[in-house]
Structure 1
Amino acid sequence: MMLFTKLLLAHLIGDFLLQPLRWVIHKEANKITSKYLYLHVLLHAALMMLLLWDLSYWKIVVAITLSHYVLDLAKLYANPLFKRKTIPFFIDQVLHVAVLYACVYFENLYEHTLLLIDMINWPLVTAIVFVSYPTAIIMGVLLEGMSSKIELDHKSLPNAGKYIGIIERLFVLTFIILGRWEAIGLLITAKSVFRFNDLKESNNRKLTEYILIGTLLSFGFAIIAGILYMNFSS
């Protein structure tokens, strides 16, 4: 596990902390001919050797370095095929981590993967999934009749409300699992403070009621999911 952790740390440092934006722009513009592509890959190799500090791991370092080059190069040529750059970015990151995992546990990869699967807390996974998009969709259906009666005089970011709701429900679920119910009250207070100016400026009773109902539903679903999880896992 320590080997995987050190390799993951090297990846995080090399891909995020020590990769300037100008490197990224140059790589996207020049692709395979970009000097920063090769400098970036060599930097990863140096970071891995520095953190491992053991020459006996040189085969793993070489394998990861070569795979990093191939994956980064593939992402550079795949980027134009996607409208949203977040898709190839996350695919690339998942594949990088998968390579690290495969290189570390290559001798018993199948057995170790099965062990990890057996360790998954499925009730927790179900609770997390439920408070994300399923709850957002359920709330959309429940509030559909009300939302059509709300007149908004300001523009908002696309799907901002949905993502805010998902994040707040994940926080609530986490607080319940940790037994920190008082933190839920602080979260409600913080949200109320941020919403106060909008409601004050709009002076719209319907909007106020709509936001209040939506907030109570969002927190309510998360609390129910948290309580059910705690009961099933105990």
Structure 2
Amino acid sequence: MILFTKLFLAHLIGDFLLQPLRWVVHKESRKAKSKYLYLHILVHFLVTMLLLWDLTYWRTVLVIVVTHYFIDLAKLYTTPLFKIKSIPFFIDQFLHVLVLYACSYYGGVLQQTASWFQTLDWGLVTAIVFVGFPSAIIMGKLLDGMSAQIEFDHKSLPNAGKYIGIIERLFVLVFIILGRWDAIGLLITAKSVFRFNDLKEGNSRKLTEYILIGTLLSFGLAIVTGLIYMGYR
């Protein structure tokens, strides 16, 4: 585990802390001809070797930096094919971490993965998944009749309300697991403050009631989920 942690830390330092924006821009424009691509790979090699501080790992580090080069190169050439530019970024990061994982547990990847799955808290995983998109869909169905009666005359980011709800329910779930019920009250207060201007400008009783019902329903689903998890843990 310590090997993977060091490799992952080296990746974070090399890919984020020691990679200026001008390097990224230059790589995107020049691709394989960019000198910063190779400088970036060199930085990864040096940082990884420094953190490991063991020359016997040089082959492992060599495999990591070579695969890092080809993954980065593939991202540079395939990014224009994606409408959502964040997708190749996350694919790129996933592949890098996958390589680090494989190198850390070389010879025992399947056994380590099986062991990890066996020790996983599946009740917690289920709770996290439920307060995410499933809860958002359930709320949408329950509030569908009410939302048809509300006139939204203000512009908003697409699906912003849904993602805000998912994040707030995740926070509530975490607070329940930690036993911090006071933090849930603080979260409700903070959301009320941010929503105050919308309600004031909208001057609509229906909108106010709709937001209140949605907020209470969202927090309620998260609280019930958290209590069920804590009861059967």
> What TM bracket, shorter-length normalisation?
over 0.9
One-letter identity of the residue aligned with 1:61: V
Q: 1:114 aligns to what SS in structure 2?
A: helix
Structure 2 partner of 1:191: 191
1:65 aligns with 2:76: no
One-letter identity of the residue aligned with 1:204: S
- Give identity over the alignment, percent: 72
One-letter identity of the residue aligned with 1:79: T
In 2: Cα distance, 1:130 partner to 1:88 partner: 27
In 1: Cα distance, 2:132 partner to 2:78 partner: 29
So what's the TM-score if we normalise by structure 1?
0.97
1:191 CA displacement: 0.4
Report Cα offsets for 1:70-94 as digits up to 9, x if no partner: 1101111111121111111111111
Report Cα offsets for 1:116-169 as digits up to 9, x if no partner: 111111111000000000100111111111112111221111111011000000
One-letter identity of the residue aligned with 1:77: Y
1:111 CA displacement: 0.9
So what's the TM-score if we normalise by structure 2?
0.98
One-letter identity of the residue aligned with 1:50: L
Q: Mark the runs of 5 or more structure 2 residues left unpaired by the alignment.
A: none
Q: Mark the runs of 5 or more structure 1 residues left unpaired by the alignment.
A: none
Q: How many residues are paired up?
A: 233
One-letter identity of the residue aligned with 2:62: V
1:107 CA displacement: 2.1
1:7 aligns with 2:23: no
In 2: Cα distance, 1:144 partner to 1:36 partner: 52
Q: 2:232 aligns to what SS in structure 1?
A: helix
In 2: Cα distance, 1:78 partner to 1:157 partner: 28
In 1: Cα distance, 2:144 partner to 2:120 partner: 36
In 2: Cα distance, 1:180 partner to 1:157 partner: 31
Q: 1:107 aligns to what SS in structure 2?
A: coil
Structure 1 segments (4+ residues) deviating >2 Å: none
Q: 1:218 aligns to what SS in structure 2?
A: helix
In 2: Cα distance, 1:144 partner to 1:23 partner: 48
Q: 2:19 aligns to what SS in structure 1?
A: coil
1:232 aligns with 2:232: yes
Structure 1 partner of 2:152: 152
